[in-house]
Structure 1
Amino acid sequence: MKREDSDGTPDPVEDHATGRRDGTHGIDVEAMDHWDQVIGDMEATAAEYEDQGWATLQLHPGDVTPLSGEHSDRVGMDVLVPDPEYEALESMLGSGIEFGDYRVYKNQQGSVVFALLAMEDASTEQAVLVPLFYSVSNPDTMDVLDRAREEGVLRSYVRRLQGDFVELAHDDPELFGPVDDEE
């Protein structure tokens, strides 16, 4: 809940994991209407995997934040998920599952890129689906993507509110770039 000053304007709320104080990350509120479509795409993709006999875990981020390394030693995309989903992912990774393959489906609405990351372990026929979003007008996001291109890896940090996280590495950061980068 945001506090309001005596003049009725909301105070910014600080995200302790990222150090940000606005909570919007440069995302146009109108563009967020497309988030429901991304969630629907995730559900349809999960159904396709399940029709082929795969088990799926669908993550429902409450926030996706670029981490430029300014407020922590992590550089990549911070993905905040509900505790039960985090625990299920942590359990999968703890059991030895390795997501050797992944696919990225994406769309861009104005300055906002919406992506669906599908990570696969073909040997166990399990997939984790992670919807993401970011604004190309956010300098932190573009710094993260530029650094990932230079290093040849983009990292996603899936975390729960308490701050525990798992790190996922994606060795083709170009797949996550803005749609305009591909044209």
Structure 2
Amino acid sequence: MIYRTLKPFVLASNSPRRKDFLTDLGLDFRIEAREIDESPLTAEDPTLYVERMAKRKASVVADLFPGEYVVAADTAVCLGETILGKPADEQDAVEMLLALSGRSHVVRSGICLLNRQLNREVVLSVATDVHFVEFDAAVARSYVKTGESLDKAGAYGIQGSGAFLVGRVSGSYTNVVGLPLAETINVLKNEKIIDSSIN
């Protein structure tokens, strides 16, 4: 155990990766996630989009548990100003991957901590630059056939076999996985929700 939980909190996410990150640090929390409309607004800035999504995810859960701290996050893969969500099907996944081949893109995550009863809200975002190696359509199709692409923004998972697509990362690796862990821990510590396990 690296951290101890001082105040109970809720993780508003069904992502196994986000759950594992926090569990591995020894944190005690429960999961209460609700589905929301994740469609970007017309010409919405990618940073504002992930922050809005994180706030919305936290808000719908905080409505149910107004006296508790709720932590939510949203991650998007951005090619320029274009937000790449989860692919609709295998062909869409292949097209996304080929658009990223040999190019740099930005993975952005929004984080929101919300306590409705205390009227306390903290929102921030984190950006990581990711550069893909160059590959052809046959490689993209083969990777998509693994099934790893279809539930991930940008159609790849850096923590899985999709790691071979990545030439370099500049910034938070855990952000690319789906939760900027250092920044999330800082928010929880600053709000005195968690503390180091040894004092």
Superposition TM-score, scaled by structure 2 size: 0.28
> Whose relative contact order is higher, 1 or 2, with alpha carbons under 8 Å and at least 6 apart?
2
